[in-house]
Structure 1
Amino acid sequence: MVRSCRSPAPRTGCQNPGRRHRQPGPQCQPTVAVGRHLAATAPVGNRLRLNRPQRQRQGLPRPRKRFGQHFLVDGGVLQDIAERVAPTPEDLVLEIGPGRGALTAPLRQRLERFVAIEIDRDLCAHLRERFPEPEVRVIEGDVLHLDLRQLLEEEQRSTLHVVANLPYNITAPVLFRLRDHADVVRRAVLTLQKEVAERLVAQPGCRAYSQLTVFLGQCARISIARLIPSTAFKPRPKVDSAVIDVEFQPGRVPVDDLRLFETVVKAAFSQRRKMLRNALKSLPAPDGTGTVTTVDLERLADEADIDLTQRAEDLSIGQFARFAAVVGAAGSSA
């Protein structure tokens, strides 16, 4: 066999062997898609530029997942929340988790001075540059470790008015911390998960009625001010949110022994689908030895006018307080 010495014709475009030569058409040109779906042929530099968020080009710190950050960006909602903050001359306004300062800006227009606490170091630097003192004092730290009474002394105020867009992962700890300081926290305007807001305002007999409802309701009057769709946040969360108005009233439901009250409530809700006859068996005996007997439990329930065939979600806050008082009195006389 004799091989040809002629050079092969140059191949262009999308020519396939054995077919007539065609000029490369638009369909044969490599394309670069926009957004997240980039063609594999796009240079790495192009991919990075196309995927780079606008916030980075503007020098804004991006949300951090470990802090549960979802920034509220709806201007109308932000203005509405700011207008709900109405401090007295004795109040110090404390903004928890200001983020990039979306709510801080309208608050600054309404208040002479307030304090903002932010755990994210990069956001703190951004906030201090955008909102210099004396109008806004930015504290870098965790609100769960902030000494609220010392802060009041430093700012020469007697009570706190809290405003916050709470990350979902620290909502309950923050609520309990505010409850523990109900004597110095006068009011709070909080943005939190809609489901949590519904639990906080639930009534006895409702499935949403919970341990959190009882603990916060014992010392505060809570109402839902408005709902916020998930589209009002960046990045968008999977659930909707709500703004609640919390007016703290220490002793709203009088409790003789707060620790014992908490013990009773926790025991009742630890097995919330069971009757109180079974759920409350873990309570300590009146004489302090072991757990309460069935006979003692029925006697205490009769004295407190509590039906042990009910479940935890059926008792009002006042009934929990009354039963705890009876348990405490029995222990004192034992």
Structure 2
Amino acid sequence: MTDEANTIRPLLSATNIRALAGELDVRPTKTLGQNFVIDGNTIRRIVAAAKVSADEVVLEVGPGLGSLTLGLLDAAARVVAIEIDPKLAERLPKTIEEFRPELAGNIDVILSDAMKVTELPHAPTALVANLPYNVAVPVVLHLFEHFPSLRHGLVMVQDEVADRLVAGPGSRTYGVPSVKSAWYAKMRKAGVIGTNVFWPAPKINSGLVGFERHDAPETTATRKQVFAVIDAAFAQRRKTLRAALSGWAGGAVAAEAALVRAGIDPQARGEKLGIDEFARIAEAHEANLAENGA
């Protein structure tokens, strides 16, 4: 589908969204983080920024009433949509039939919590989603872990969450989401979306985060071992790494030994380190344990 064709195809309007919600007796809830996009131009902007190609399988989490789903179907070969709300999951294929009858066979709707999904009927190559604010980071990390076929994508999240995902070492917003996402991909800020394109309108702006997958750091440590170091370092981020990692390592002496072996100053703080350095710490600690017969 060409960009020109995509821009002129009808997408769900505010009237359509409210009519569908009324039909289903759906009232958007904060619990599920439901904020439906009611502006077609915003959908086109998201799809364009996601750089989805015509041969791709796109994974969408939380399709809701189908605003973004229609735009993705126009751009991709197939959409696999994971929806936790039974009413919305049941209605979505019917909405596709009404608005894109010729594309109705190009979608799979999975009724499930995205955090519990580890298999899909088609291997997704891209992730494009308007993610619920309260679970955005865990969902992204879970999908990265279980679907290595995901090569790129774009997610819309709370703007401050977007800043955390893309932050680099030394930034005030740098933390666990920043480092763990860097294990899997290069994250970039791709824009800000105002509140007036949603129903109901959230109180704060949303941020677009694009990503390109890359290989995990070269290390003999496992992802689980590296992530344990990250969690420990940021649980007490104001402390030096020697102190912050003492509980994880089995004491301050063991923590310092791992840091020294990894070539990292024990007096440094975790907020200054990148993913490769955390991997070195985990690797060094495992090496020390092996040498000491632990």
TM-score range, shorter chain: 0.7 to 0.9
1:242 equivalent in alignment to 2:200: no
CA distance in 1, matches of 2:44, 2:193: 13
2:9 paired residue number: none
Given the two structures, how large is their TM-score scaled by the length of structure 2? 0.83
Structure 1 stretches of 4+ with a deviation exceeding 6 A read: none
Amino acid at match of 1:311: R
2:13 paired residue number: none
The equivalent position to 2:131 in structure 1, one of 157, 163, 166, is 166
Could you list the per-position Cα deviations for residues 259-297 of structure 1 after superposition, in whole angstroms to 9, with x for gaps in the alignment? Answer: 22112111111101111121111123xxxxxx1342x43
Could you list the per-position Cα deviations for residues 142-184 of structure 1 after superposition, in whole angstroms to 9, with x for gaps in the alignment? Answer: 2222233xx2xx33x4x43111100011112201202212522
Paired residues in the alignment total: 267
CA distance in 2, matches of 1:250, 1:320: 16
Equivalent residue runs for 1:1-334 within 5 Å:
55=19, 59=23, 61-83=26-48, 84-87=50-53, 89=55, 91-132=56-97, 133-148=104-119, 151=120, 154-155=121-122, 157=123, 159-181=124-146, 183-251=148-216, 253-257=217-221, 258-284=223-249, 291-294=250-253, 296-334=254-292
Aligned-pair CA distance for 1:120: 1.3
Counterparts in 2 of 1:275 and 1:236: CA distance versus 1, 3 Å: same
Rg: which structure is higher?
1
CA distance in 2, matches of 1:112, 1:300: 48
Counterparts in 2 of 1:56 and 1:324: CA distance versus 1, 3 Å: closer
Aligned-pair CA distance for 1:88: 6.8
Could you list the per-position Cα deviations for residues 74-99 of structure 1 after superposition, in whole angstroms to 9, with x for gaps in the alignment? Answer: 2221101122241474x421211111
Higher relative contact order (CA 8 A, sep 6+): 2
Given the two structures, how large is their TM-score scaled by the length of structure 1? 0.74
Kindly indicate whether the alpha-carbon contact (under 8 Å) linking 2:62 and 2:82 is maintained by their aligned counterparts in 1: yes
Amino acid at match of 2:107: V
Between Structure 1 and Structure 2, the one with more helix by share is: 2
CA distance in 1, matches of 2:268, 2:155: 33
CA distance in 1, matches of 2:283, 2:138: 26
Percent identity between the two aligned chains: 34
Amino acid at match of 2:209: I
Kindly indicate whether the alpha-carbon contact (under 8 Å) linking 1:199 and 1:209 is maintained by their aligned counterparts in 2: yes
Aligned-pair CA distance for 1:131: 1.2
SS at 1:80 equivalent: helix
Aligned-pair CA distance for 1:54: 5.5
CA distance in 1, matches of 2:20, 2:186: 42
- Root-mean-square deviation (CA), in Å? 2.2
Kindly indicate whether the alpha-carbon contact (under 8 Å) linking 2:118 and 2:147 is maintained by their aligned counterparts in 1: no
Amino acid at match of 1:239: I
